[in-house]
Each structure stands twice: as C-alpha cells, then as structure tokens.
Chain A
Amino acid sequence: MLEMKNIAKIYRTEAIATHALRDFDLSVADGEFVTVTGPSGSGKTTFLNIAGLLEDPTDGTYKLDGEEVGQLNDRAKSRIRNEKIGFIFQSFNLIPDLDVTDNIDVPLRYRGLPGAERSKRIRDALEIVGLASRQHHLPSQLSGGQQQRVAIARALAGRPRFLLADEPTGNLDSEMASQVIALLDDINAQGTTIIMVTHDMSLAGHGGREVRLLDGRLASPDDAETLAATGTGV
C-alpha cells in the first residue's frame, strides 16, 4: 500500500520558488496498475521521484506499507529502494560497461544476497523478459526494446512490491512499446503493484486506473479544457 497525503514539493532558488507538487493525495492499493499522466511540467517526474524515495517531499506524509518513509535517513531509503521498489527508466539506465547478467546483478549485490541466489534470480528474471539467450551481451549490442526488457529484468530480480516506471515506452517504437506494456501487464498480474508515469495518452488508464496531474496537483473535471489543449485530454 502506497499512501501520500498533502504532499508538496517546492524547488527553491535564490530568485524563485517552483511548486512542482502541491496538496497531492494518492493511495495505491496492493496489486494496482496505476498510470500517471499529465502535460510536461505537471509534476509527473517529481511525483515518481518522491514515490521512489529519490527525492524528499517538502511537506506532507508518505507511507509505504504503513511505514512513514518521507523523512528516513539516506541509508534506510536506499535499503527500501533496493528491497521494495523496482525502477524502469525512460532511457533504460543500463550500465554500458556491464553485460546483461552483471546489470541485473547490480541491485542484488547491494542487497548482499549470496552468489547462488543471485544467479537464480537473474536466470528467472531473464526467462520472464525472454532474454535468456542474451545474458552476456552488452547493452550496446541490444535493441532499445531489449534494453528496456533488461531494465525490467533488473527491477524484477529484486522481487519488488512496487514497480515504478518512468515513460517506459518513451524511447521505443510502437511494436517494442507494445511488448514492454504486455510484459508489465504480466508482471502486474503476478501481484506486483505498478505505477507508470507516461506522456502517451494511448496508455492512459491502461492498467485500470489513471491519475492525471496538472500544475503539480491532481486534475479536476474543471481542468478538462486545459488538458485537452495540451493533448492530454480527459
């Protein structure tokens, strides 16, 4: 269960204060697939960063599985990111000098799992994403879709309770994007909670529930005109 209440995020410089999120409330139940949409600058990525403990909220409370996590220290947040959260990034964020196996192994090493357990998890994850035959390939030897599947395998190998996807199809052609979305559907069907931030309106509400952001807050029906004008209509 993910629960945010009155979350605010303000980026301050000497000259200005930018309200990236304000009065933001959201609850995501276990096993949900939630898509978060909104125009550029609406606060999608800020929301994802806070949800993934990559950034601290300026205000509000954030509970993950009932535990207040917003103000934990860096070490505790790193541990939660490693054990409970899986990340899928728009640019895949694979480490270019490591082959597929070693890329998937990175978070498992941080968890301190023994070698045999890590190997099994890597094999299982590669089976799920259909890349078992590419385990010794470097990212540069894979297509964009394959790279994103490796990134998904990296996230899955940690067996996370929450999978946070940041525009996971943003850098893929439509065929590869479909494959990735189908894969996310399968993962969600296995019980993993997925929150997917996307700009792509064809994916809005894909998992059954859509959250729309506008100007750093949840969009209301009054915002329909604005959202329509930005191409992210109601």
Chain B
Amino acid sequence: MPDLEIRPILGTMRRNPVGAILIALQVAFTLGVVANSLFIINDRIGLINRPTGFDIDNIVTVQSTLLDDPADKLQQVRTDIEALEAIPGVIAATSVTQLPLSNSGSGTELFASADPNAPEVNGARFTMTETGLDAMGLTLAEGRWFREDEIKLPSTYGDPINVVIVTRVMADALFPDGNALGATVYDHLRRPVTLIGIVEHMQGSWISWQHLDNNIFTPQVPMQRFARYVIRTEPGSLDQVMSQVEPTLAATEPRRIVQRLRPYSEIRDRTYTEHRAMAIMLGVVSVLLIIVTAVGIVGLVSFVVRQRTRQIGTRRAIGAQRLHIVRYFLVENWLMTTGGAIVGMALAFGVNYWLANLFSLPRLDPWYLPAGLVILWLVGLLSVFAPARRAARISPAIATRGAAL
C-alpha cells in the first residue's frame, strides 16, 4: 500500500484552508445540483420511454371534417377506412375519438357491480372499430376484439353499449381476484355491459395522470362530421403512406377538410416537450457546472504548483519520484473533492426536498449521491492531472537556487 501522505496533506490544508474550502464548496454545490439533475433527467427519460403498448413508430394519424352532414356516417367511416387500408404499406386503419398520449380526451368510469357503493374505476375512453386492434398494434391478452356488427354510431357517447374491452390494469382494478373476462361490468349510469376482451397494455391520454394505463375501448365511430383516423403501416412505409392519405380521403369524399396528418411519434414528442426541455436544460446546467468546477480545480492547482515550485523541487531533491509529486496533488484534490462531496450530499437532499415540494417530484433516490460523487471524483482527478504532471516536471535543481519556499 503506497503512502498517500494523507495526514500531512490534511495538515497543510488546515493551515491554508481558503483554496480548499472554495473548491470543497464548489464541489458541494455542483454535487447537490448534479445529483438532483441526474435524478430528474432520469425520471423524465423514464417517463418518455415508458412502453406505450401500441406500435407508435409505424402509425400515422389524420383528422377529417366533412363539410356536409353525411347521409350515413357509419358507412362514410367504413368507406374511409377501407380506402385507407387499400393504400400500399398500410396494415390496418380505424377511427378513434381521441388519441393516446395527446393530453386531451375524455374518460368514464366502470363498476364491478351494480351496488351503489361499489368503487368506481376510472379510465380514458377510446372508441374504435373492429379494425382497432390491428390499427393500433395492440396485444390482446384475453377474450376477443369487437366484431363488425357491434360497431355503432352513437347519438351521444353516453349511449348504452353491449360490450366493452379494457386494459389489463383496468381489469385488475375492477376485479382484483381475476375472472374479469366475460364478467358484467356497469357503466356510469349503472347499465350492464359485458367485458369481452382484455388488452395487455396501452397508455391513455393524459401522461401525468396516475391511471394512465386504465383504458376502456368501446365499439363506436365518431359522431357528426368529425372523424380521426389511426393508420398503421408496415415498417419503413410511413412516409410513403402519409403522402397518399390526403388524396385517398379526398377521393372518397372531396367535400372535407383534412388536417393534422402526422406521424404518431410527433404527438408523443409534442406531449413530452416540456419534459424533454427540462431534461436538456438540467443536462446543460450540470455540464456547465462540472466544467466550472473543473476549471476551478485546474486554476487552483496551477496556482498552487506555481506557489510551491521550490517546495516541489526540494521534495524532488530529497527523493520524491515524479509519481510521488503527481500522487500528492491527486490525493490533495481527492480529499478536497470528498470533503466537498460530503457537504454536497447533505445539500443534495436539501435541494431535493425543496424541488420535491415545489414541483411535486419524488424523493431523491440515494443512489444518485454516490453516482454524483464518482462523477466529481473523476472530474477532480482529470482536472488535477495536467497541472500535477507539470509539477512533476519541475527540476530538483530548483532546490539549490535562491529565494524562500
């Protein structure tokens, strides 16, 4: 075990505390901010990368508004879907009333029994056609999807329905003991509905909602002149299909406005804009702080090397190898960094407490503190290495020249 000279270095720092304290404070502040930033960045990236449950990268969405009331809206939707599915590269298309991850839409509640005191289970409500499963790329876990004859044009979305499909999380919330498939559930007006299928997973509309994964599928098409379509394409066909959507819809019914033709990933990106911006901003701030800390360490060590030139020469004269000199500065900096980091860990908890209250964030995972410490150790060691090597190149002959240490 090499002699790291820890005790004499600590003694030297105690007698000349200003530089060490400044670096330690800078490290403490940087650790406090970086640990929290990493935590928040990771939290946001985790949010963005949650599995959606549908084939988000191969889906196109489009919105259509007819200029005239259609004679048969259900038939118009079917005609549109058939035309869209005829575009080369399209796997399936469906109409929907709202889009997952769009941060807008409506929800409803289901009950496991008609008992007025039965707890309600809330979920976002998605109306789809018999092609919805394939058009979204969902995975059916149990039961079946809607049949063509079950699809209705409602007069209001509160119209009674006979069958319903829910996500697995929603099914488990309704029936914690299992056996949800085939069960009778009750809608918001306590009317019975048969639960015919369970979808493995799909994220709903509002990304910050605690019941994001609670989703209800009903066999309906959009009312009146408005319709929104989801079109799932073969991998790699997205751009080509997008170019065909508008002329295809125009061919089936020219008197309509086609809007918001976009890849689904764009909707997700727009929804998560703030989260992404926050992650980028915190990343930039962290990198800047780390650079400032590194520059501070380089500056202090360079100053100390100049100040101690003759002392270093004397150490070399009385037997220090270059390695000893480099190691001295590395250990000295490591002690400063570690001292600052210990303060920084307390600061990190404080900053997290403040941020958690201000932005309703979860409490800091303690693993981010050692992660921040390791980052700052590495920054410290890399920063000190160049000036320490310069110090090690000081000639021992300096020791016999004039002037005090």
Residues of B within 8 A of A75 (CB): 321-323
B12–A87 touching, CB < 8 Å: no
A109 to B: closest C-beta gap in Å:
5
Contact A106 B3 (CB under 8 A): no
Number of interface residues of A (CB under 8 A): 38
Given A93-B314, A94-B405, A106-B315, A81 contacting B12 (CB threshold 8 A) = no
Distance in angstroms from A49 CB to nearest chain B CB is 5
Q: Is the CB of B321 within 8 A of A89?
A: no
Distance, CA A43 to CA B184, complexed state (A): 107
Asked if A96 CB lies within 8 Å of chain B CBs, one says yes
Given contact pairs A81-B317, A95-B314, A112-B3, A87 touches B399 in the complex (Cβ within 8 A): yes
Partner of B321, one of A52, A110, A155: A110
A6 in the interface, Cβ–Cβ < 8 Å? no
Interface mask (A105-116 → B, CB under 8 Å = 1, otherwise 0):
111011110000
**Is B405 a contact of A91 with CB atoms below 8 Å?**
yes
Contacts A95-B314, A96-B405 known; A110 to B399 CB distance under 8 Å? Answer: no
Chain A residues within an 8 Å CB radius of B7: 102
Q: Quick check: A102 and B403 within 8 Å, CB to CB? A: no
Asked whether B16 is an interface residue with its Cβ less than 8 Å from the other chain, the reply is yes
Q: A48-B400, A54-B397 are in contact. Are A106 and B318 (CB under 8 A)?
A: yes
Contact with B along A64-75 (1 / 0, CB 8 A): 000000000011
Give the residues in chain B near A97, CB-CB below 8 Å: 11-12, 15-16
Chain B nearest CB: distance from A75 CB in Å? 5
B residues in contact with A155, CB < 8 Å: 318
What chain B residues lie within 8 Å of A166 (beta carbons)? Answer: 400
Q: Which residues of B contact A105 (CB under 8 A)?
A: 8
B276 CB-CB contact with A under 8 Å: no
Within 8 Å by CB of A54, from B15, B16, B396, B404, lies B396
Evaluate contact between A91 and B317: CB separation under 8 angstroms.
no
A45 touches B400 (CB 8 A): yes
The answer to whether A78 and B400 touch across the interface, beta carbons within 8 angstroms, is no
Chain A residue with minimal CB distance to B402? A91
Select from chain A the residue with minimum beta-carbon distance to B8: A102
Instruction: Give the docked Cα–Cα distance between A206 and B184 (Å).
Output: 115
Contact B8 A87 (CB under 8 A): no
> Which chain B residue has the least Cβ–Cβ distance from A80?
B319
Tell me the chain B residues, 371-405 only, with Cβ under 8 Å from chain A. Answer: 395-397, 399-400, 402-405
**Do B8 and A107 touch across chains, with their CB atoms under 8 A apart?**
no
Measured CB to CB, the residues of A under 8 A from B are 45, 48-49, 52-55, 74-75, 78-79, 81-83, 87, 89-91, 93-99, 102, 105-107, 109-112, 138, 154-155, 158, 166
